[in-house]
Structure 1
Amino acid sequence: MLTVEHFLQLAPFKKFQLVAGANGLDNKITGINILDNPDASDWLSAGELLITSGYFFSENTEIQKQFIQRFKEINCSAICIKPHIYLKGIPKSMRDLADELALPIIEIPYGVAFSKIMNIVMAEISGRMDERNQASLDIHSQFFEISLHGGGMKKIAAELANMVQNPVVLVDTDWSVTAVSDHKQPLIQETIKTIEHTFTFPLQTFNDLPTNFERIQKPITRSLFFADKEYPCVIMPVYFDTIHYGFILVYQIERPLTDLDYVALENGSMAFALEQMRLFEIERTENRIRRDFFDQLLSGQIKDLDTLAAYDTAIDPLLNYTVLILSIQTFGIQTDSLMKKKQAEDRLMKSLLSSLTSYTANRFPHLHLFSRKNQLVMLLGTDPNSSTLKTHNELSDTAERIRMYLEQQGPSEREIFCTIGSTLPILELSQSFEEAKKVIQLLEDDSKEEKIYFFNDFYFDSFLVDSISKDQGQKFYTHYLNTLLTYDKENKTSFTPTLKAYLAHHLNIATTSRALFIHRNTLLYRIEKIKGLLPVELDQEKNTFALQLALKLYDLYH
């Protein structure tokens, strides 16, 4: 293995001068890189020999110290600097810090080309690759065995921690913890937070992560602070085939990572992705089985309790059940690719289904759920002996608690509303399902100011839609309201909503004016104008019903 000391002994480099970090001469050189862009430090790897003109160091002492510290955290082998171009010399503050960190700083004589250094070092390294390749194969085999036998996330975390000799934390795309190598480690206990029953790594711990850094597909290093000490933390994005699975965090508490540790990290990330795929497939299969059963139940194909019992589900046939549909529309997913948007939406729905399953398990023992596209369908069992009011309140409370919980999950902006069918015996549940879906159709163009909608409140609307075609409905409301609607449009008046309020308050001037927040005389003036625009007498009972129906059809079909 090529070390810094061996590098300085090579004939072409005998005039290179070690100016600091003599205690790091045993550092192993596994690669070489030119660095003259401060933003490129996230692309460096452990064991690399860095060559730089010191351009981005400038003469700023704090920046110089910051980068020397960062290079040590990454575990670079040494820094070769060509001064007298941008740096007048290698500052004492840099040399002192390099001595403290045992990070060699080597001064390149003026006139030596960077390319010459790179060619010689690469030739030396290539002759020492067999040992590293064998070690890489051994690491790959160990993780392959874990993946092959379904060792799970805990086994991956434990094995990786053993290889890199540092604590390891695995998190998913939402930074929820999936596995930890050592729960008793104080720094892990300090950084991981508990929300509900979920362990989460707070992303705000790192305030300078690159944009979309999960796509970098290589580890970056950031600092964690604990008990007045700073610890480097390596963050490895797990990202394969355009799909992001999560992150691996390595807390460098025991020792800096070597180049072989990074090989282990890459193989560990592959095992992480394979395990996530396996878990996703299991979850997808279980959800499909659940969905197939519920599809048969909700389509009315299960017609007797004996058939229902054959499915061995947790459904209690002695309870009444109600279908609740949570419709979820996302706004925070920004991408030009329809495929990527679909993948993001699928991952969101899987995440919501998983977290909601955990949330409802103990809180709502008679609730069953599955997902369909952008909807979560729930069946809630209630006591058939409960009063209608008690059942209604229970449904409303459950729907609101679940809706509020889902709104708090994840960073994406979303709109969630719930539609609720009738409460019926289990074998009649197809009717409740159709009713909940019907409300979604009726709300299609609605602003959805409310978040919970019961079918009972839409029964009349549903009857009209099912019984009167759109053409017939438009003809009906046009006959009664066309003159009034046209007048409102041309004169920017609000006579149509005034008529609607007047009819809703049973032609009562006092209650209507209070509802509209207008003076009694203003309302009387409007009513006289409305009477002159309508084709029928407003005060006749049959006409008031016809006008109310016309207004309802206008709302439905306009």
Structure 2
Amino acid sequence: MLTVKSFLQLPQFKAFNLVAGKGGLENEITGVNILDNPDASDWLSAGELLITSGYFFSENPEVQQKFIQRFKEINCSAICIKPHIYLKEIPESMRQLAETLSLPIIEIPYGIAFSKIMNIVMAEISGHVNELNQASLEIHSQFFEISLHGGGMKKIAAGLAQMVHNPIILVDTNWAVITVSDQKQTAITDILKKVGDTFLFPIEIFTDLPTNFERIQKPITRSLLFNEVEYPCVIMPVYFDTIHYGFILVCQIEQSLTDLDYVALENGSMAFALEQMRLFEIERTENRIRRDFFDQLLSGQIKDLTTLAAYDTTIDPALNYTVLIFSIQTTGNESTSLMQKKQIEDRLMKSMLSSLTTYIANRFPHLHVFSRKNQLVMLLGTTPTLSTVKTHNEVSDTAERIRMYLEQSGKMDREIFCTIGSTLPILELSRSFEEAKKVIHLLEDDEKEEKIYFFNDFYFDSFLVDSISKEQGKAFYAHYLNPLLAYDQKNNTSFTPTLKAYLAHHLNVATTSRALFIHRNTLLYRIDKIKSLLPVDLEQEKNTFALQLALKLYDLHQ
């Protein structure tokens, strides 16, 4: 084992001068790294001997203090500095802090090349690599046993905590806490934030994390405040086959991590990823079974209660049901590749389905949910004896509560809206499903100003789309509106929306002008101009209906 003390005793390094941190002479050196870029500190590993010219220290005392503290948090073995190039001399403030932290600072004589130090150190520690490999195999076997016997996330966290002798927090990609190794460790549980039924780790307390740092796919260290005392916290992104599954956080409350602890952390990361893959596969299989049943129900293939009873479901045939479809539209980075976007969407839907299933378990006993592509499809059971108004209110209230839960339980990188079909007996549910899908189609190119849409509010639009072909619709609105539309386009006027508002307010000048926020005389001028452009008399009742229908068809076919 190569320690800082034995390093300084090597013949080649007799001229090196220990200027601070004599309390760390027994620190083990497990690697060596050259560092002259301050942004590269997150790439360092525990036990490494750092070699630097001190370029990024400059003469700024705050920067010097920051990096000495950071190197200690990472558990580097020692810092070798070659002064007189960029750093004239090793400042007294750096020496004092290093002495307090027992972090050795070694002054390199001017004529020694960095490459020579690296070669000698690597030759000295080469035998240690075999020991680490053997220890890695033993650690791997322990995690294999945990996974083999279905230990789950709790046992993975507990096993890893025992290996590294520090508390462990496992979180998903949204920083929702999966498990904590020691629930009695109040220093940790007190900093977690509760949102609904979920606990979140407050990642925002780390103000200097690199952008998309999880892509580094290696542990980084930051300070975490527990009971007004700062402790190093190692954050390990969990990846497998380019897919990000979450993070492991090691709170170094008990002791600093060694290089062997980092080996355990890497193996724990693999166990974490494999367990998440197993859980996702179970959820996917369960969802597929649910989806197959609901596909048959919603397509009308189940035609009698005897067939329905043959399925092992909690559907109550005595209730009426309503189909709710929550459409999830991600608004992520447009530069993301199609493969990455698909992976992100799949993981998002799995996460939302899992979270929502837990949320509705005790709150909505007659609500059933499954996912398909970017949609969460739900069947809400209500008592048939309820009045139409009360049924509508119950469905509306349930939809709003679920929508708010979905929006509040994740990052603000998604848009969610809900479409709702009619409330019908269970064997007629296919109609409710088709109605909810029809509303999605009708809203396809519209701005989603509202969040919840009922089919009943779109019945007329649906009737027009189903009854009048696209060609017939265009011919109809062109007959009545073409001169008006052409004038608006040529002169950049807004006579068409003015006509729409005027008809909607039953040809009432006062209410229309107020709705459009224009003066009465301005509206009268526009109406006179509109009358001159229309092929029919605006004042005749039969024509007002025809014009309203033309405007509706125009909107539907844009």
Q: 1:50 to 1:511 in 2, by over 3 A?
A: closer
Aligned equivalent of 2:81 = 81
1:320 is aligned with what amino acid? N
Once the two structures are TM-superposed, the CA of residue 517 in structure 1 deviates from its matched residue by: 4.6
1-side partners of 2:472 and 2:412: how far apart? 42
Q: SS of the residue aligned with 1:417?
A: strand
Report the secondary structure of 2:329's partner residue: strand
**How many angstroms apart in 2 are the aligned matches of 1:529 and 1:45?**
77
CA contact (8 A) 1:325 1:418 kept: yes
Task: Decide whether the 8 Å contact of 2:322 with 2:429 is kept in 1.
Answer: yes
C-alpha displacement of 1:466: 0.8
CA separation of 1:364/1:109 partners in 2, compared to 1, >3 Å: closer, same or farther?
A: same
Shift of 1:70: 1.5
Match of 1:422?
422
Q: Which residue of 2 aligns with 1:453?
A: 453
Q: CA 1:360 to 1:6, structure 2 compared with 1: closer, same or farther past 3 Å? A: same
- The residue number in structure 1 matching 2:344 is 344
Aligned counterpart, 2:44:
44
Most deviating of 358-367 and 200-209: 358-367
Please list, as runs of the form range in 1=range in 2, the aligned pairs for 1:77-476 lying within 5 A after superposition: 77-476=77-476
Measured in 2, the distance between the counterparts of 1:387 and 1:72 equals 69
1 CA distance for matches of 2:514 and 2:147?
70
The aligned amino acid for 1:341 is K
CA drift of 1:383 comes to 1.1
Give the Cα separation in 2 of the matches to 1:69 and 1:281.
43
How far apart are the structure 2 equivalents of 1:85 and 1:2? 29
What corresponds to 2:58 in structure 1? 58
> 1:333-372: per-residue Cα shift (whole Å, max 9, x none)?
4433111111112112222222222222222221111111
Structure 1 pair 282/521, CA: closer, same or farther in 2 (3 Å)? same
What is the rounded CA distance, in whole Å, between the counterparts of 1:397 and 1:269 in structure 2? 42
Q: Is the 8 A contact 1:334 1:341 kept in 2?
A: no
Residue type at the aligned position of 1:92: E
Matched letter for residue 538 of structure 2: L
The Cα shift of 1:428 comes to 0.2
Bigger drift between 407-416 and 458-467 goes to 407-416
My pick for the range that moved more, 432-441 or 323-332, is 323-332
CA gap 1:536/1:163 in 2 versus in 1, 3 angstroms: same
Gaps of 5+ in 1: none
Displacement after TM superposition at 1:107 (Å): 2.0
Give 1:485 deviation, angstroms: 2.2
Q: Secondary structure at the match of 1:312?
A: coil
- Helix, strand or coil at the partner of 2:55: coil
- Deviation string for 1:21-57 (max 9, x for gaps)? 2222211111111112222111111111111222222
User: Offset at 1:519?
Assistant: 5.2
Residue-pair matches, total: 558
User: How far did residue 447 of structure 1 move?
Assistant: 1.7
- How far residue 523 of structure 1 moved from its aligned partner, in angstroms, is 4.5
| Residue equivalent to 1:547 | 547
Amino acid aligned to 2:100: E
SS at match of 2:170: strand
SS in 2 for 1:380: strand
Deviations 1:76-126 (A, max 9, x none): 111222222223333332222222222222222221111111111111111
517 and 31 in structure 1: CA distance in 2 versus 1, 3 angstrom threshold? closer
> Is residue 195–residue 409 contact of structure 2 (8 Å, CA) maintained in 1?
no
**491-500 or 283-292: bigger deviation:** 491-500
Tell me: CA distance 1:441–1:95, structure 2 relative to 1, closer, same or farther (3 Å).
Answer: same
- Residues 159-179 of structure 1: per-residue CA shift (max 9 Å, x gap): 000000011111110111111
Post-superposition offset of 1:510: 4.9
2:16 matched residue in structure 1: 16
* Aligned-partner Cα distance in 2 for 1:4–1:518: 82
**Aligned equivalents of 1:502 and 1:56: distance in 2?**
70
Contact preservation (8 Å) 1:439, 1:453: yes
| 1:29 matched residue in structure 2 | 29
Structure 1 counterpart SS, 2:57: coil
CA offsets 1:197-254 (integer angstroms, 9 cap, x no match): 1111101111100111101111111001223321111111112222111111111111
**Kindly tell me: are residues 81 and 548 of structure 1, through their superposed partners in 2, closer, same or farther at Cα, counting changes over 3 Å?**
closer
Check the 8 A contact 2:160/2:264 in 1, yes or no. Answer: yes
Does the Cα contact within 8 Å between 2:177 and 2:198 map onto a contact in 1?
A: yes
SS in 2 for 1:363: coil
Checking the alignment, whether the CA contact within 8 Å between 1:330 and 1:412 is kept in structure 2 is: no
1:472-515 CA deviation, whole Å, 9 max, x = no partner? 11111111222232233334443333333343344445554554
Over 3 Å counting, the alpha-carbon distance change for 1:90 and 1:318 in structure 2 is: same
Output the amino acid matched with 1:183: Q
CA distance in 1, matches of 2:282, 2:218: 28
Secondary structure at the aligned position of 2:353 is classed as helix
Task: Quote the Cα distance in structure 2 between the aligned partners of 1:164 and 1:202.
Answer: 23
Q: Structure 2 length as normaliser, TM-score?
A: 0.96
Mapped partners of 2:129, 2:547: distance in 1 = 88
